Structure 1
Amino acid sequence: MGKRHLWLVFIKKLIKRLNQDRVTDFSSQLAYTFLFSLFPFLIFIFSLLPYLGLNPDSVMSFLKDFAPPELVSIIKNNIYHILKRNGGLLSFGVVATLWPMASAVMTIRHVFNVAYGVKETRSFIMMWLMVFLFTIGLLAVIFVALFLSVFGPMVGHFLFDSLGISLKFLHFWTLFHYIVTFMMIFIVFCSLYFVSPSKALSPKEVWIGAVIAALCWQVTSFLFSLYVDKFFHYSSTYGTLASVIVIMTWFYITGFILILGGEINVVLYQLRQERNQQRESV
C-alpha cells in the first residue's frame, strides 16, 4: 500500500508539473526548432562522411531504425541533390546547425529552471558551450551508430566465425546494436539534464529521467514509424503536406519526451526534499 501510494503521489505531481510548466507548448517550440536545424545538421554530417571513409547510405540505414519513412524519403531526395550541386557546405552546416541548436538548448534550460524554481545565473559563453557540447553529443551518437552499422558486422562475423557460433551472430548483433545506441542516447540525455538547469545536481539525481526518456524515445520512434508505414497513410488526408505533418508530429513527440525526462527528475527531486524535511521535523 505504501509503494502504491508513492506511485500515485508521483504521477499526480508529474501531471501537475507538466501542466504548470506548459510542457506541451514548449514541445511545439522544440519541434519547430528541430525542423529548422534538421537539414543544416544533416548537411554537416554528410559533408563529414568522406573524411571518415563512410558511405552516405549508412546514415540512411541508421535513420530508418528511428525516423518515420516520410522523413527518410525527404532526406534522401534532397540531401543528395544539395551535396551534388554544392561541395563546400561543411562550414555552412556548422553555423546553420548551431543557431537553432542554441534556441533548443535555451528552451530546455528555461523549462528546467522554472521547474526547479531557480533563476539563470550563467553567462552567454556558458550557454554556447552547452550548445557546442550538446551538438558534439548528437554527432557522437550518430557516428558511433554508423560505425556499428558499417564495421560492426564485419568484426562480429570474424569473431563469431572464429568461435564457431556464426549462426547466432545475427540475433546477438541486433540486440547489441540497440543496446549501444540506447547507451549513447542515455549519455546525451543525462548530460543535458545535468547541465541545463542553473542548479548544482549530481548524476544520481538525473539518471532515472534520462533512462526513461531514452527508452521512451527509442520505443515511441519505432512504434510511430511502424504506425505511419503500415497502418495509417497521411497522404490520403493531407496530400502533399503529409510528409511535413509526419515530421512535425515526430519532432513534437521527441521534444515532449525530452522535457518529460527532465520533469521526472524534478518530481523525484521534490519528493526527496519533502521526505528529508519530514525526517528533520521528526
Structure 2
Amino acid sequence: MKRALGRAKRLPVVGWVTEIVQLYFSKRVSRAAAELAYFLILTFFPILICLSAFLKQMNLDLASMLEQADYLLPDSVIAIFRDYLNYLNGNQSTAMFLTGIFLAVLFASAAMRGLMNIMHEIYGRATFLGLWQIGASLLFSALLLVTVYLSLAVVVTGNWFFQLMGKILRLENLVERFVAWQWGKYALLISIVFLFILLLYRFTAPWDKPRPPVVPGAVGASLSLAVASLIFSEIMGNSARYSLVYGSLASVIILLVWLYLCGNVVILGHVVNYVIYCHRKQKDQRGREGQ
C-alpha cells in the first residue's frame, strides 16, 4: 500500500494535488476563507446601498437585473438582494449613500488585509507592512467596488440597450442580431473578475525576484468561481429542506456558505501559484547545480 502511494505521488498531477492539499491544511486556508466571508458579507449590504442609488439614477428595472444573475446565484441569495434593494428604493438619502460608501470601503479593506495576511503566511514574507498595507487595502477595496459596478453594467446591458440603439439608429431587428450577447456577457463578466483577481495576486505576491507566477492561479480561480457558483446555485435550487434546518436564517446562511466557497477558491488560486513558484525555483536550482 505504501509503495503504491509512493509511486502515485511521483506522478506530476498527484504530486501537485498533494502539495496543494497539504498547504491548504498547514496554512489554515479554511480559516482565512471564513475571515474573508465574514468581512465580505459585511461589505455586501453597504455595496447594495450604493447600487440602489445607482439603479435609481439609471431608471433600471430591479427584477430584470436580478433575473440576469439567476444562473450564478442561489435563489435565496437573490431573494435577500431583492428584499433589501426594494427596502432601500423607498428610503434613499444622501446620508445613507455616503454611509454606504464609507462602510463598503471600511469592510472591503479589512477583507483585503485578511487576504494579504494569508498570502504572507503562504509565501513566508509580506508584500506590504504597516501603513503601506492599510493604503494597499484601501486601494483594492476601491478596485473591488469598481469591479462590482463594471459587473453590474455587464449584467444589466441586455436587450434594452440594443432596443434603445435600434430606435436611435433606426435599425430593425438589432436585438436579434446580438442574441449571442446574452451568453457573451457572462464571458465578459468572468474576464472582469479574472482581471481583478490577477491584479490582486500580483500585488499581494512578493515583489522580489524571481517574481511568482499569477496568471495560472487567476485563470483557474476565475473559472472555478463561475463553475462553483453554478453548481452551488443548482444544488440550493434543488434542495427544499435546508429552510427546515436554519429557519428564517436560511438565506443568510446560504449567502455565508457561498461567500466561504468563493473565499476558498480565491485563496486556493494563490496556493496553486505558490506551488508552481516552488517547482520553478527547484528546477532553476538543479540547473545551476548541474552547471
Tell me, yes or no, whether TM beats 0.5.
yes
The CA RMSD over aligned residues, in Å, is 3.0
2:66 counterpart residue number:
60
Distance 1:39 1:254 in 2: 17
CA contact (8 A) 1:10 1:267 kept: yes
Q: Does 1:130 align with 2:136?
A: yes
Q: Is the 8 A contact 1:34 1:100 kept in 2?
A: yes
Q: Residue 98 in 1 paired to residue 131 in 2? A: no
> 2:209 and 2:144 mapped to 1: Cα distance?
22
What amino acid does structure 1 have at the position aligned with 2:109? Answer: A
Q: Tell me which stretches of 4 or more aligned residues in structure 1 moved more than 6 Å.
A: 161-166, 201-204
Aligned match of 1:39 in 37, 45, 58?
45
Aligned to 2:54: 48
Q: Aligned AA for 1:9? A: G
Counterpart residue number, 2:219: 211
Given candidates 205, 216, 223, the residue that maps to 1:197 is 205
CA deviation vs aligned residue, 1:181-215 (integer Å, no higher than 9, x gap): 01000001011111123434788810110110010
1:234 aligns with 2:272: no
Name the residue aligned to 1:272: 280
Query: In the TM superposition, what are the counterparts of 1:162-173 in structure 2 within 5 Å?
Result: 169-170=178-179, 172-173=180-181
- Change over 3 Å in CA distance of 1:246–1:202 after alignment to 2: farther
**Secondary structure in 2 matching 1:13:** helix
Q: Structure 1 pair 27/149, CA: closer, same or farther in 2 (3 Å)?
A: closer
Secondary structure at 1:205 match in 2: coil
Overall identity of the aligned pairs, in %: 22
Q: Label 1:168 to 1:105 Cα distance change in 2 as closer, same or farther (>3 A).
A: same
1:5 aligns with 2:19: no
- Distance apart, 1:95 and its partner CA: 1.1
Asked if 1:110 corresponds to 2:121, the answer is: no
Total equivalences in the alignment: 279
Q: 1:19 aligns with which of 4, 20, 25?
A: 25
Q: Which residue of 1 aligns with 2:78?
A: 72
Given that 1:48 and 1:90 are in contact with CA atoms closer than 8 Å, whether structure 2 keeps it comes out as no
Aligned partners of 2:221, 2:209: CA distance in 1, in Å?
A: 18
Encode CA deviations 1:196-241: one digit per residue, 9 max, x unaligned. 2343478881011011001011111111111111244311222222
1:77-117 Cα deviation digits (max 9, x unpaired): 12321342242221101111112112211111011111111
Question: Quick one: distance in 2 between partners of 1:81 and 1:165?
Answer: 36
- SS of corresponding position for 2:205: coil
The aligned residue for residue 256 of structure 1 is 264
| Partner Cα separation in structure 1 for residue 53 and residue 172 of structure 2 | 38
Equivalent pair of 1:194/1:201 in contact (CA under 8 Å): no
Give 1:23 shift: 0.5
Paired letter, 1:242? A
Change in CA separation of 1:129 and 1:65 when aligned onto 2, cut-off 3 Å: farther
SS in 1 for 2:35: helix
Provide closer, same or farther for how the CA distance between residues 226 and 275 of structure 1 changes in structure 2, counting only shifts above 3 A.
same
Contact 2:212 2:274 in 1 (8 A): no
Report the structure number with the largest CA radius of gyration: 2
CA distance in 1: counterparts of 2:226 and 2:23, whole angstroms:
24
The residue that corresponds to 1:145 in the other structure is 151
Query: Partner amino acid for 2:45?
Result: F
Q: Which runs of 5 or more structure 1 residues have no equivalent in the other structure?
A: none
TM-score, normalisation: structure 1: 0.86
The answer to whether the 8 Å contact 1:26/1:107 transfers is: yes
Deviations along 1:29-80, one digit per CA (max 9) or x if unpaired, are 1111111111111112222334455444454234433222111111211232
* Contact 2:75–2:237, Cα closer than 8 Å, also in 1: yes
Report the secondary structure of 2:93's partner residue. Answer: coil
Relative contact order (C-alpha < 8 Å, sep 6+): which is higher?
1
**Pair 1:59–1:91, CA change in 2 (3 A):** farther
